[in-house]
Homo-oligomer: A and B are copies of this chain.
Amino acid sequence: MRLDKRRKLERAGWVVGDAGDFLALSPEERQFVEVKLALADGVRRRREHLGLTQLQVAERLGSSQSRVAKMEAADRTVSTDLLLKALFQLGGSSRDVARLLVPRVRNRAA
Interface size of A as a range: 20 to 34
Say if the beta carbon of A97 comes within 8 Å of chain B. Answer: yes
**Tally of this chain's copies:** 2
Task: List, in ascending order, chain B residues with CB within 8 A of A69's CB.
Answer: none
CB of A99, distance to nearest CB on chain B (Å): 7
A27 neighbours in B (Cβ, 8 Å) = 88
Residues 72-88 (chain A) with a chain B CB within 8 angstroms? 79-81, 84-85, 88
Do A98 and B89 touch (CB < 8 A)? no
Q: Give the docked Cα–Cα distance between A97 and B28 (Å).
A: 13
Out of B28, B32, B81, B101, name the residue touching A95 (CB < 8 Å).
B101
Cross-chain pairs A/B with CB under 8 angstroms, 16 sampled: A27-B88, A31-B88, A31-B93, A32-B81, A32-B85, A34-B94, A35-B94, A38-B94, A80-B81, A80-B84, A81-B81, A94-B101, A94-B103, A97-B101, A98-B99, A98-B101
Q: Other CB < 8 Å A-B pairs besides A79-B79, A81-B81, A98-B98, 8 of them?
A: A28-B89, A35-B97, A79-B80, A80-B80, A80-B84, A94-B101, A94-B103, A98-B102
